[in-house]
Amino acid sequence: FTGSAFGSAAIWQYESLKSRVQTYFEEARADWLDKIRPQKRGDFRKQVNSWWNNLTEGQRTVTGIIAANVFVFCLWRLPGMRRVMFTYFTSDPSSRALCSPMLLSTFSHFSLFHMAANMYVLWSFSSSIVSLLGCEQFIAVYLSAGVISTFVSYVAKMATGRFEPSLGA
């Protein structure tokens, strides 16, 4: 998984750089169109756009991860989703589904305080790490760390004989 994550991140990073270079040249040719285009309306949209543009690349990257964690947290609150959540969003070495929960449980939190603390810490160091690695490699590190820590949790559970499901990585 880790090899695939970093290989995919390298391809994504290359394609992103290629797209940025192409966009730069296209914008240089299309500057004159900005003068004749009508301005978009909507105060709320401008505020959201202004907020988003003021974020660092790391904060933008982590915003997606936080949104995924909040979405999964909300799914835990729906009674009809409990069976699916226990099957795929908790890590349990005695479960029939072993591989997908290794990744999906990374986004799973049952306590609001635990999720908020984790997301705050992630937000606080995201700018420096993403500026060092790039957003693609950061996501690969995040996902790989989740899968590897879940694997270590499986090994520890097998060694101790405790097979109860757990949340998170």
Tell me the per-residue pLDDT of 84-108, one tens digit each, with 9 for 90 and over: 988 888 888 877 777 888 889 889 9
Extents of the domains making up the chain: 110-160
Q: Taking residues 141-152, report their average pLDDT.
A: 90
The confidence band for 157, taking pLDDT boundaries of 50, 70 and 90, is: confident
- What's the pLDDT at 87? 87
User: How many other C-beta atoms lie within 10 A of the C-beta of residue 65?
Assistant: 19
- C-alpha atoms less than 13 angstroms from C-alpha of 159 in its C-beta half-sphere: 6
Give the pLDDT confidence score for residue 51 in this predicted structure: 84
Which of 12-26, 40-54, 148-162: highest mean pLDDT?
A: 148-162
**What is the mean predicted confidence (pLDDT) over 123-146?**
90
Decide if 88 contacts 104 (C-beta within 8 A): yes
